[in-house]
Structures are given as C-alpha cells and as structure tokens.
Structure 1
C-alpha cells in the first residue's frame, strides 16, 4: 500500500510539474531584444527597433514609442554600401578599373592644399585611404551642399597621410561623381536600376533634395531633442542620402553577401580589408565578436537617425537596428547587441 504522505504529495507534485511545464512553454525573450530595450533605458534614445532575418524567418522588436516596423527612415552612411556596390559592378563590367586615378574620370577637380587627384585611385576612395578631408567637418552634416561644393570644402584642408585609413564622406561623394561620368546617369539612377528594382526594395529611395520622408514614418530627433524629421538630404549626398526601411536593409545585405549582386571575385574585393589595415573593405567593414564570429555591414548616422546593419559573411543571418536620434548615450550597447544576436548563449 502506498504511504499516506506519498498520496498527499502527488497533487502538489503534479501542480509543480504543471507550473514548470507552463514556464518552459513560454518563449524566452531573445537576448538582443533585451539589449534593444536598454537603448531606451540606458542609451537615452526615444525609441529603438530591430529586424532580424534568419533562414527560418524574421523577428521584429521595438522599445520606446515613436517607431513602427514599416517606417521609412534616413540611413546615413549605409548609403556607402550601395555606392560601392555600383562601382564594383562597373568594374566587373570593365567600364572602370579600381586602379584608375580620380584624375582620369574627373580631370582637374581634385587639386589644392596638397591634394592631387593624379595620385589617388578609385580603390583609395572606396577604402577611405585617399587622405581627403571629410567635408562634413565644415558643414557639421546640417548644411545642404552640391557634390562640387562638398569636394571644394574638403580641398581647403591638407590631406591626411595617404595610404592610411581615414574615414571621409568626401570619398563617396567623388565616387558618386565618377558613376555619373562613367554611365551618364546619376548614382541614384544607377542604384535604382542595379539594386533597388531587382531586389524589390520598395521602401528604399534616393530622395535628392526632397526634405520630407515617405509615409509611413515616425519623428526624428537631434541629440538635443530638436525635431529634425524634415531634412534636406543634400547634407550627405552620395555619402549618406538613402531613405529606407528595416526590411529593405536586411534584404539588401542578405543579397549582397549572398552573392546576388556581385560576382565572387568582386565580392571578395569588397571584403578585402588589407588596404585599410583591417578596418574597412569597400563600403563594408568587419567586426569580430567575443565568440569569434565576424559580422559584416555598415552603420549610418545622420541628423535624427542612427542605423546599424550586420550580417554573417554568407548573408544568411542579418540584423538591422535603428534609433530615432543620432546619439546613443552608452556606446557599449551596440557591441553587446551584436554579440547577443550572433553569439550563441551570449549572456
């Protein structure tokens, strides 16, 4: 016969098992979603959102108020990945060579204060090893300028050491000018024809001088809280003009790193960081995470917006996150977010 205390214990045990089963069936919050929330609580941003793309599907998360999944936003320097892709496609078509000098395509333009386009190659522009000053030092990223004005501002400054990595948006403004010289069309037209339309990036555009964001969109705030939702994209031009969505950026980087936009040789060139001593490829840069995984992508900062996309080298896993301001109070949160997404069992 079963002891009485054993019989009395059975209902309690069953109840505990039921609780345990219920707890185990509840989905755990992904670690990256937890870090995303900290962008609001510790990073001081009004709102944040991420869209993770995996082979099994996508996952969306947001924190704070003011951001929706399908919102359009300014992507800043993520534009550089699009521009680099177009240039490398032109190289694959033998319409230009990365060893071409800037002078060959834009004769007489890059001269002054020790800068000389005869000594600079397209490879140097792509890898930020030209030494050209960043025109946004003068405009602070808030003054609209034409490409020619941007270059002339940069040429009032002496160059940094040529051959060393020195990030400068002037490089990509010049690449935008080279695209027009080679093709007869603007960089926006070429990117639309070669990337945006083939991939079906319906939320992505180069707005030119249009200051309003397409609908739907939320608000964008400068670091001091000023509403900067309306912004003339000519503050960045070919170096940062792009407007896009979370889903479109995930799709773009998955296609790029998955080999759908460039032949294998040219995708390897894009990921070759030797010219920039490991810091940068061509429109992409790598980050090695604590678990040993290396992710590839780019970030973008423009008044009212900060965006970061990172992906595995094969493009099978992609994460894009954004905040609706250009400042994050705690810079350690981004590496933690990437590690939480791409490193298994990261705390």
Structure 2
C-alpha cells in the first residue's frame, strides 16, 4: 500500500477514512515504556527523541523505532511501545519494515541517473517506451511524459483508489484471503485505464503542467519504462545504482514475497467499522510504487547521499528539486512535490525539509532530510488505522513532529 495525504496519509487511507468514525481500540495499557540507546549525540537531543517516540506511542501506536543523524554524523536512536501486543518485547532498533511510497524516491533516483546518461529523457512520452499501454477512457500516453509520471502531474487515475473504492473490501477477512496475491504491473495499469484521467497535460508542452494528484499508477509505469530502457527489472536498477554503491545492506526488494525479514515487529491495522487491531504483517506489496523493505539506518544513509549530491549529478538533482504545489501532501497546504520527493516548511529549518514517506498495511514510514543532506531522521511505526480518522491523524501528527524535532531541533 502506497501513497500520501496529510502528514503521510495514503490514498487508500483516504478512501477508508471516508467511512471512518468507529471508536478507537485501547492498546495503551499493553504498551511498554520507551527505552533509548546511549550514543555520542548530546543527551538533551537523545532525551527529546525518546519523548517524541513516547508521544507517538501514546496516540495508540503499538510500537515504533526511530533514528536521527546529526551534522557530525552522530546517531541517536529511540523506540517505544512493544514488538507484539500479545507477546510484548521491545521493538528492535534495527527492525526491517516496508517503506511503502518511500520506494518512489529510490525509483526516481534510478530514472534520473538514466536521464543523466542519456538513456532516458524527461520529455520522453509514455507512448515512446510503452506503446499502447496508456490508452482508453480518454487516457493518452502520447500526452504524458516521464517528468509527468515522476511529478504526479500526469492526471492518471490511481489504481489503488479503484481497487479499494468500496469500503466493504477493507475487511480482515478480505485481507487474509488476498495477502499472498500479487498483481503484475500490467494488471495495475490496466485497472487505472478503466477510468478517465483527471486531465491530460498540454500536448505541446506537457512539462508545463502544474496540476498535481498523487497516483501510484505513475510509478508503476516508471518501473516499466526503466525495465524497457535497461532490459532489466527496476529492482536491479535500484540495487546496482543505489543499494550496492551506498552499502545499504539492509535494503531490499522482496518481489512477490509476503514476508519481512527478522528482526521486525508485528504490523497492525485497524479496519473500518472495527475497534480491534488485526495483525497484517504478511502482505504482498511489491512494485515500483512501494516494494522496498529497509531500516531506519539505511534510510538515513540514502537520504543524505541523495541531498549531498552523491547519487545524482547537479543538473538532475536540481530537476528532482524542481517542484509544483502539492497541497494534499501535508497539512498547511504548503508542500511542494518534485520528482519523487517532496518539500515542506519545518519550524527550525530555515530552508525546510525534503521528505516523502509511505503507508503500508500496518506500517508507516516517515523520514526527512535537510537540503544540504547534513541532518536526517527516519521512523517506522507499526500501526495503521483505517477505522479511526482522529487517532490516525493524531499518530501522523506526532510522527511528523518526531521527525521535524529530530531534524530541525525543538522550538518552543
């Protein structure tokens, strides 16, 4: 599950929240107290990170782990809650987790490296690389460029909105029956093609399009284009161009596997119309729109290498940071979306922060980095609520506060 709305809400969550309103599950009584790891970072900063982690737990999250890295390269870590609400135990500091739509930033980097090499061009149309794939119901691959896909200015329907537009599909029983079922990229795109686009970019100047709407379909298509351009799956491009060069030993694509490696924590989802939490740890969630598994340590390394210019030439990094308004990406209607990454203002950071984030069945990934790549933070929260909008938003707000405090320093 992928996609973003306010402070990290997914498109699929938006559908579920439309029918929300049930009572919250009371898990606070079984949540363990927080523990923070001693490190070389200043004690006040470590203590603040722990307080913020506990605040996320107090919104009802079963457990979480967070890691921040300062300009001197010093790490501080925090965890709170429990690894499993029945069995207890601490959430591992180095827990693996599904990063959801944070995958899009990795895929965008791979695509932009291909642009730097001349294999792809941002103005290439979808039709050039995938003839006949984007068509029907008014969809037209001749009017959509690689840039439009990377920036979510294509107007294409979001296939996950279609798959989960009926709230009755969001049930524990449905989840269990489908958790090992994988859909091919072609099937996902075909689903999106059953709906008319929200708009078509200007035929003469599609790069000028500034209308923005988040669609996982865009990145499914980017993955398909990378494969067509290189002759290899998008996963190979990400591994060879990002994972291996950066030494991200705990970042991987799991394909059609429903499993997350150990150590990890149990992922929980509150379905609409229910008060209880369902164990949703097992779930097929592969794809260029959200198929990567990682750790908070690796996410910090990746984001810093991206912003400091390690991964992209200056021209392509500038393209990535060329943005359009994306008011649904965060609260305050001030967020802007580039090519696979977003920007938002953050108190204490004069130049704001770059971020993305992702939501999966039972897991929320949140992270941010300063524009110079010197300070970063990442967190994994192992609870998602589709059945209680208030608690979902409280958890999202608390998690973003944790990240912003860690990156920008607490103010007030």
Residue 403 of structure 2 corresponds to residue 338 of structure 1: yes
Within 2, Cα distance between the matches of 1:304 and 1:344?
29
Residue 211 of structure 2 corresponds to residue 168 of structure 1: no
> What per-residue deviation string (whole Å, max 9, x for no partner) do you get for residues 254-302 of structure 1?
1111111100110111111048696200111011013334100210101
Tell me the SS of whatever aligns to 2:283. coil
User: Paired residue for 2:312?
Assistant: 262
Within 1, Cα distance between the matches of 2:128 and 2:154?
15
Within 2, Cα distance between the matches of 1:221 and 1:335?
19
Tell me the SS of whatever aligns to 1:272. coil
Contact 1:293 1:342 in 2 (8 A): no
Query: How many residues are aligned here?
Result: 319
Contact 1:132 1:170 in 2 (8 A): yes
Contact 1:221 1:229 in 2 (8 A): yes
Within 1, Cα distance between the matches of 2:49 and 2:254?
32
> What per-residue deviation string (whole Å, max 9, x for no partner) do you get for residues 164-220 of structure 1?
100000000000000000000000011111111111111111111111111222211
RMSD of aligned Cα (Å): 1.9
Per the TM alignment, residue 345 of structure 1 is displaced from its structure 2 partner at its CA by 4.6
Residue 98 of structure 2 corresponds to residue 74 of structure 1: yes
Match of 1:49 among 65, 90, 93: 65
Contact 1:127 1:275 in 2 (8 A): no
Alignment of 1:1-347 (within 5 A): 27-28=43-44, 30-41=47-58, 43-56=59-72, 57-66=74-83, 67-140=91-164, 144-162=182-200, 163=209, 164-224=211-271, 225-234=277-286, 237-274=287-324, 279-291=336-348, 292-327=350-385, 328-330=392-394, 331-347=396-412
The answer for unaligned runs of 5 or more in structure 1 is 1-25
Contact 1:339 1:346 in 2 (8 A): no
The answer for unaligned runs of 5 or more in structure 2 is 1-41, 84-90, 165-169, 201-208, 272-276, 328-334, 386-391
Per the TM alignment, residue 33 of structure 1 is displaced from its structure 2 partner at its CA by 2.8
User: Based on CA coordinates, which of the two structures has the bigger radius of gyration?
Assistant: 1
Within 2, Cα distance between the matches of 1:194 and 1:31?
35
Within 2, Cα distance between the matches of 1:280 and 1:329?
21
Within 1, Cα distance between the matches of 2:232 and 2:108?
16
Contact 1:311 1:317 in 2 (8 A): yes
TM-score where L is the length of structure 1: 0.87
User: Paired residue for 2:21?
Assistant: none
Within 1, Cα distance between the matches of 2:351 and 2:94?
29
Within 2, Cα distance between the matches of 1:175 and 1:85?
11
> What per-residue deviation string (whole Å, max 9, x for no partner) do you get for residues 76-134 of structure 1?
00000010000000000000100000000000110011110011000000000000011
